[in-house]
């Protein structure tokens, strides 16, 4: 008898699908791995915008919630999306229109959405791999006093990418258990560090006299519109992930009910509660006691020291542990670093799982190479897409480990894809619900409309504020636009040549759809 083709079985409940999204958001990891990027951010005139870290996260969080509501609404009416997620939503938004003239835009909509999804999902794991290598290099330096070479960091990146790929290859059930354990560990550690950081500022055991922020209100208030926008272009990196659960519809029990709830729940738990608390605590404790040297060898303190360190949260943990916990700063730093490493593993794993599922859906739809559309016979995972992404992630990480400029550049490339994808999804929400009996002006016009405008504003901020900035900002913008442009070119060429072979048109004539 012929062998049965591998099939997908729904095994994930609300908890399972939520923790997969929460693993991607990973607040315990991102406080550590992105604080340097945020502290080093500058305005076009070269002045620091580190004072707007918290406000920038707040602005990005509003954008994320508006987009999350749009995702949840689409997941509610298209629970059958399966691996396709946003790609499927884009097509159905037009195919479900009563007027057949709208159907001709379905393929263009899904291809553009698929391109944006891949720019986000296929670059993001590489960013995480680079950040893991940076974490290991920092710990290596603390343990040995030496410096880990760039070559060694690239080799480690390849090893870590392969390890993550293997876990994903084994299947989502194991991945979900891993993500759940990682979330429990990192959130517990996060609460401990944040409480200690606030106590450190209030008790002032080291008698600091030059705190970066005058008080709690100074930490959270916006200091400049430009600063908030710049910080938001970085902050979205730490908030993405809530939408990833929509790619697990095929593996979710009762997706009509569980997917929309998981989208919002994951963002509330980790975005609203965890991030706003931990970033407040970190900013609240920074003073002249946080010291280091910049790239020129000059002594720096406060936020300048945070910008110069590859792991400012590690430096803060050492100060807090030594001053508050009786000299165990190094042990506290190592303990937090271990949980951060686990969180980065969970984040990379979650994004890789989502990325290959969207690729699989597009390959099944003949919009991507056939090699990406194969399921493993035993584990029912898109195994070929996984190993291709492992290689891509290693190459992207090789750019990111070169310097903080390279790391910011690849992060912006992923964020560029994020803003395009989120903006398109908000647009498809408006299109999908227009004329439906359950249409709501608030949920299907105002919310997605505002989300669309905010995502477009973020794209403008990347294109304008970085391109006209200082030399480092311009270099970061060139890396971002280079990756985005290269992927757009590859995508366009593939669509053109595959269309020539198959005879399918990007925008078919109306009469062919009647």
Query: Is residue 414 in a domain?
Result: yes
pLDDT at 9: 66
Give the residue numbers spanning the domain of 113.
14-496
CB–CB of 285/200 below 8 Å?
yes
Helical packing angle, 225-239 and 27-40, nearest 10°: 150
**Residue 392 counted as domain residue:** yes
pLDDT at 100: 79
Rg (CA), the chain: 23
Position 216 in a domain: yes
Pairing of β 299-301 and β 291-293:
antiparallel
- The verdict on residue 503 lying in a domain is no
Distance CA 476, CA 420 (A): 18
Cβ count near 389 (within 10 Å)? 26
pLDDT at position 378 is 66
Compute the distance between CA of residue 68 and CA of residue 24 in angstroms, rounded to an integer: 14
- Residues 6 or more apart in contact with residue 383 via CB below 8 angstroms: 169, 374, 375, 376
369 lies in some domain: yes
Alpha helices in 3-105 (DSSP H): 14-25, 27-40, 53-77, 86-95
Question: What total number of domains does the chain contain?
Answer: 1
Work out whether the CA dihedral 327, 329, 330, 335 comes out positive or negative. Answer: positive
Closest CA relative to residue 200, chosen from 336, 322, 78: 322
Cβ(262)–Cβ(19) below 8 Å: no
Q: Along the 514 residues of the chain, how does pLDDT read in single tens digits?
A: 444 445 556 667 777 777 766 655 666 677 787 888 899 998 888 899 999 999 999 999 999 889 988 988 898 888 877 666 788 889 899 988 877 788 888 888 988 998 888 888 889 899 999 999 999 999 999 999 888 999 999 999 999 999 988 888 776 555 566 667 777 787 788 788 999 999 999 999 999 999 999 999 999 999 999 999 999 988 888 887 777 777 666 677 777 778 888 878 888 877 777 778 889 999 999 999 999 988 788 999 999 999 999 889 999 999 999 999 989 999 999 999 988 888 888 788 878 887 888 888 788 777 777 777 666 556 566 778 888 899 999 999 999 998 888 888 898 898 899 899 999 999 999 999 998 999 999 999 999 999 999 999 999 888 887 777 778 888 888 899 899 889 889 888 888 888 788 777 777 766 544 4
pLDDT of residue 8: 58
- Rounded Cα distance, 433 and 444, in Å: 6
Which CATH number fits the domain that encloses residue 44? 1.20.1740.10
Round to whole Å and give the CA distance between 152 and 148: 7
Distance CA 42, CA 35 (A): 14
Which residues have C-beta within 8 Å of that of residue 365, sequence separation ≥ 6? 84, 110
Model pTM score:
0.84
Do residues 440 and 404 lie in contact, with contact meaning Cβ atoms separated by under 8 Å? no
Decide if 367 is inside a domain.
yes
- Helix locations, 309-402, DSSP H: 312-324, 329-364, 383-400
Q: Which of 419, 449, 455 is nearest to 73 (CA)?
A: 449
Q: What is the pLDDT of residue 275?
A: 77
| Neighbouring residues of 106: CB distance < 8 A, sequence distance ≥ 6 | 90, 91, 93, 94, 95
Domain annotation covers residue 506: no
**281 assigned to some structural domain:** yes
């Amino acid at each position: 008898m012929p062998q049965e083709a591998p099939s997908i079985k729904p095994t994930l409940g609300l908890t399972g699908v939520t923790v997969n999204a929460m693993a991607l958001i990973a607040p315990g990891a991102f406080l550590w791995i992105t604080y340097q990027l945020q502290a080093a951010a500058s305005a076009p005139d070269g002045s620091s915008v580190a004072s707007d870290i918290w406000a920038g996260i707040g602005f990005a969080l509003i954008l994320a919630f508006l987009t999350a509501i749009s995702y949840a609404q689409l997941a509610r009416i298209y629970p059958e999306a399966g691996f396709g997620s946003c790609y499927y939503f884009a097509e159905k938004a037009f195919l479900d229109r009563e007027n057949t003239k709208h159907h001709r835009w379905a393929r263009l909509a899904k291809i553009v959405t698929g391109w944006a999804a891949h720019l986000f999902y296929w670059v993001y794991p590489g960013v995480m791999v680079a950040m893991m290598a940076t974490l290991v290099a920092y710990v290596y330096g603390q343990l040995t006093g030496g410096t880990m070479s760039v070559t060694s960091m690239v080799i480690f990146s390849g090893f870590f990418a392969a390890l993550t790929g293997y876990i994903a290859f084994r299947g989502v059930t194991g991945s979900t258990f891993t993500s759940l354990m990682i979330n429990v560990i990192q959130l517990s550690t996060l609460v401990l560090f944040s409480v200690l950081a606030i106590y450190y500022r209030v008790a002032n055991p080291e008698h600091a006299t030059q705190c970066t922020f005058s008080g709690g209100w100074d930490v959270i208030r916006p200091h400049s519109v430009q600063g908030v926008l710049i910080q938001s272009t970085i902050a979205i990196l730490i908030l993405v992930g809530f939408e990833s659960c929509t790619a697990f519809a095929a593996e979710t029990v009762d997706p009509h009910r569980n997917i929309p709830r998981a989208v919002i729940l994951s963002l509330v738990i980790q975005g609203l509660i965890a991030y706003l608390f931990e970033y407040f605590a970190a900013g609240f404790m920074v003073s002249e006691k946080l010291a280091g040297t910049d790239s020129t060898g000059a002594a720096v303190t406060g936020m300048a020291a945070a910008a110069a360190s590859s792991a400012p949260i590690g430096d803060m943990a050492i100060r807090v542990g030594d001053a508050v916990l009786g000299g165990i700063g190094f042990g506290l730093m190592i303990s937090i670093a271990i949980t951060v490493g686990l969180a980065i593993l969970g984040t990379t794993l979650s994004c890789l799982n989502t990325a290959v599922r969207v690729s699989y859906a597009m390959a099944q739809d003949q919009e991507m190479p056939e090699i990406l559309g194969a399921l493993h016979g035993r584990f029912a995972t898109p195994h070929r897409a996984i190993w291709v992404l492992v290689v891509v992630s290693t190459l992207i990480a090789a750019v990111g480990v070169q310097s903080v400029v390279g790391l910011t550049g690849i992060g912006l490339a992923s964020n560029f894809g994020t803003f395009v994808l989120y903006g398109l999804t908000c647009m498809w929400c408006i299109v999908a619900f227009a004329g439906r009996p359950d249409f709501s002006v608030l949920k299907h016009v105002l919310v997605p409309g505002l989300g669309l405008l905010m995502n477009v504003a973020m794209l403008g901020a990347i294109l304008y504020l970085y391109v006209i900035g200082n030399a480092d900002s311009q270099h970061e913008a060139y890396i971002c636009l280079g990756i985005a442009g290269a992927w757009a070119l590859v995508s366009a060429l593939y669509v053109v040549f595959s269309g020539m072979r198959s005879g399918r048109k990007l925008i078919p004539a109306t009469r062919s759809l009647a």
